[in-house]
Amino acid sequence: MARKKMTYSEAMAEIEQVIKEIENDELDVDLLSVKVKRVAYLLEVCKNKLYKTEQEVEEILKDITNAKE
Domain positions in the chain are 8-68
pLDDT, residue 1, reads 57
Cα separation values, 46 from 23, 39, 66, Å: 22, 10, 30
Provide the Cα torsion 39, 40, 41, 46; round to 10°: 80
Q: For position 13, what pLDDT does the model report?
A: 98
Cβ atoms of 18 and 38 closer than 8 Å: yes
Predicted confidence (pLDDT) per residue in 6-32, tens digit: 999 999 999 999 999 999 998 888 899
Between 3 and 23, the more confident residue is 23
- CA dist 63 and 69 (Å) reads 10
- Average pLDDT on 53-64 reads 94
Q: What are phi and psi of 7, to 5 degrees?
A: -85, 165
Instruction: Express as a percent the part of the chain with pLDDT over 90.
Output: 75
pTM of the model: 0.80
